[in-house]
Structure 1
Amino acid sequence: MSSEASLRGLAARAPALAAWLDAHAETLDTDATLSGDVVPQLANAGLLRIGVPVALGGAGGSIVDAIDSVAEVAEHSFAAAFVLWGQRTFIEYLLQSPNRGLRERLLPALLCGELAGATGLSNAMKYLSAIEPLQIRATDVAGAPGTWRVNGGLPWITNLRKQGFVAAAAVDHEAGGPPSIFAIAHNAPGVTRSDDLDLIGLRGTHTAALQMADTPLSDDDRITDNAPAWLVRVRPAFLGLQCGMSLGLAQRSLAGTNDSGPGARAAVADEVAALSEQLDTLSARLKAGVAQGDFVETPAHLFELRIALAALVHDAATLEVQTGGGRGYLRGLSGVARRQREAAFVPIVTPSLVQLKNQLAAQRAQQLKTGTAS
């Protein structure tokens, strides 16, 4: 797909949203003035319903369509795409949850943008890969089966919208057994949201810490009672939607090389063509793997795609800087500096590239050990 055609994607699907994002992309990155407006804007454009069954209030389509929507938003504002990833991923958790009552209770407000959804499962994904222990514990309430008191916290969650949110969190049980994943409401007793974190960018994303102190939860709030098995199934959607942010940012940076003079464009034409081809290839592999369920059994292939996309984002953003010249260093004349900050975030969003590389190295070491033993 050409850069020009890609940039027309959101403008064709949701012209009012595209115009709003273009007008406010810098503000969404640098301060929290408009952070409360992002989820409603995404909802009004219908993006939160993409890939959700019509019978559940969605617009139909598949998770691949949702990945495309994240990519399209990221071309205009990475901060808004980050929020969309959080909201749409939480919606996906409900779609894949066996708790029908919880889905029926929360989904309508999430789809219309009244309620924000926060994934909160970065810690859980690292736990799944044996990177860190779970940070929240549940204690059974005596004489009340299926109820718990929860304590602990998460230091970094996006889309904790001050007007109302629900966050997914993985919880270890003091009594033993598999960890659970709960939906924790902003107004539940004992829930405390910190001030927004002092980020260097993406400041309009309602990113904060969350703490629970003797927060009462019950089976009605439980997304799954077997977090490890469920996370394996939902991880491709979690990472696939996340990779959508990289797809869109890389596409926008490559398109930005066209804003320069003919001499600069000619100097990087071969590199832009090569990166564009690579982007198309990685995008096709990502979408096929998520759609066909390949990454459930072979998560390493998804990790490798995430790493490759981060490298591509870096290379594309660097080319945009090279072709933009001094103009990109002047405030207000382009989004080059913002996209550099956005590109710098891609390697560290959980699971970070370092974590993924360590995971892949451990898998290779285990395979070599097994091969030697046999």
Structure 2
Amino acid sequence: MNATACFESLAAWLDTHADALDAQASRASDVLPQLVHGRVVGVGVPEALGGAGGTIADAIDTVAAVAEHSLTAAFVLWGHRTFIEYVLQSDNDAFDADILPRLLDGGIAGATGLSNAMKYLSNIEALQMHAARHADGFALSGGLPWITNLRREGFIAAAAFDHDDGSPPSIFAIPHDRSGVERSDDLDLIGLRASNTAALTVKSTVLDARHRITADARNWLVRVRPAFLGLQCGMSIGLARSALLATSQAGAASRESIRAETGALEATLAEQTLRLKQGVVDGTFFERPAALFELRIALVETVTRALSLEVQASGGRGYLRNQGGTARRVREASFIPIVTPSLVQLKAQLAQQRLASAA
């Protein structure tokens, strides 16, 4: 089966199960295997390394394409593909060779776990994980309250740790089966419930240097942040597209009354998508992270407006359960502003930068 046919099969499965994936945790174990079968996890990974080839822009397109059918599945894909990006950009060749094939075939789930680290990078909060030198490497302790794709069948999670000896923070990859690693029950989310989202705790977990993604967390985080946020923005793009498509399929009278607004928003979304992919690929967002923050904020507004148009076009039918997905998409859209870094955090960071520039 070629890649197009594989994705069409995945899309059909997602369309069938999208409401269940949002509302129930019972299908959580199926999501990653379906994404692997749909040949989406290896997009943007060099063929020489076992991937599908292409660029990070192609991976963003893939996250968006999945989000058009299910934000839960796109959230899982974002977590998994972002972890793969960490592997690709790791300073540790031994780590790369060991874990990448297992991620690409779905043998293990990748969980980013770096929301705390990204907030640390923006001076929003301190690191919550701590590393101490140990005879066998490093003893790790701490907890993170919210990580996606902590698949019960097996996961590996990235997290940032400060060091007791004062050396720069590191990023470690934490396997699920090491002593002291504990996954909580699934968080009681109002949606996205099949995303294997839970808290993670490590208690004196010992890992050697092979599990250290980088020994220089701050500079490495700056390097991977465009991919982290770019892939995350793919969720907004796909959800907005889905809402605009549903709007276009509503009754003629409803469509006509908002035709101009819908067309303008479609053009805005297309422009934002192009700007996102170009900025991630050409290095603009590495040099000017504020431009990426501003675009992420703008995409939240686009999603909000797209869902508003869908609600207007669908009318009372959209307020019924199991009637075209409008209610689900409204719940999904409520998540977009709060995924880390949240809208509030990004706006605060931009305000700090403006004050610093004015000083």
TM-score range, shorter chain: over 0.9
**Can you give the 5+ residue segments of structure 1 that lack an aligned partner in the other structure?**
1-9, 370-374
Select which of 92, 103, 106 maps to 2:96: 103
Q: 1:70 corresponds to which residue?
A: 63
Select which of 222, 232, 236 maps to 2:222: 232
Is the CA contact 1:119–1:168 (under 8 Å) kept in the aligned structure 2? Answer: yes
Structure 2: distance between partners of 1:274 and 1:155: 39
Select which of 158, 162, 166 maps to 1:168: 158
Q: 2:182 corresponds to which residue?
A: 192
Is the CA contact 1:121–1:170 (under 8 Å) kept in the aligned structure 2? Answer: yes
Shift of 1:311: 0.4
**Can you give the 5+ residue segments of structure 2 that lack an aligned partner in the other structure?**
none
> Alignment partner of 1:170: what SS?
strand
Shift of 1:12: 5.9
Shift of 1:13: 6.0
Q: Percent identity?
A: 60
Select which of 231, 239, 244 maps to 1:254: 244
Shift of 1:176: 0.7
Q: 2:349 corresponds to which residue?
A: 359
Q: 1:57 corresponds to which residue?
A: 50
Is the CA contact 2:6–2:39 (under 8 Å) kept in the aligned structure 1? Answer: no
Q: 1:44 corresponds to which residue?
A: 37
Select which of 320, 327, 331 maps to 2:310: 320
Amino acid at match of 1:42: L
Q: 1:217 corresponds to which residue?
A: 207
Structure 1: distance between partners of 2:4 and 2:329: 20
Structure 2: distance between partners of 1:206 and 1:11: 27
Shift of 1:259: 2.2
Structure 2: distance between partners of 1:21 and 1:27: 10
- The structure 1 segments of at least 4 consecutive aligned residues displaced by more than 2 Å after TM superposition are 10-13
Q: 1:268 corresponds to which residue?
A: 258
Structure 1: distance between partners of 2:205 and 2:108: 20
TM-score normalised to structure 2 length: 0.98
Shift of 1:331: 1.1
Structure 2: distance between partners of 1:334 and 1:261: 13
Counterpart check, 1:289 vs 2:279: yes
Shift of 1:293: 1.1
Please list, as runs of the form range in 1=range in 2, the aligned pairs for 1:294-313 lying within 5 A after superposition.
294-313=284-303
The size of the alignment, in residue pairs, is 357
Q: Larger deviation: 327-336 or 199-208?
A: 327-336
Select which of 88, 91, 101 maps to 2:84: 91
Counterpart check, 1:31 vs 2:24: yes
Q: Larger deviation: 124-133 or 260-269?
A: 260-269
Amino acid at match of 1:117: G
Q: 1:203 corresponds to which residue?
A: 193
Shift of 1:165: 0.1
| Residues 66/94 of structure 1: CA separation in 2 closer, same or farther (3 Å cut) | same
Q: 1:280 corresponds to which residue?
A: 270
Counterpart check, 1:123 vs 2:113: no
Structure 2: distance between partners of 1:55 and 1:223: 21
Amino acid at match of 2:207: L
Deviations 1:52-98 (A, max 9, x none): 01111011100000000000000000000000000000000000002
Please list, as runs of the form range in 1=range in 2, the aligned pairs for 1:324-335 lying within 5 A after superposition.
324-335=314-325
Amino acid at match of 2:300: A
Is the CA contact 1:119–1:157 (under 8 Å) kept in the aligned structure 2? Answer: yes
> Alignment partner of 1:76: what SS?
coil
Is the CA contact 1:11–1:19 (under 8 Å) kept in the aligned structure 2? Answer: no
Select which of 69, 80, 84 maps to 2:73: 80
Is the CA contact 1:11–1:18 (under 8 Å) kept in the aligned structure 2? Answer: no
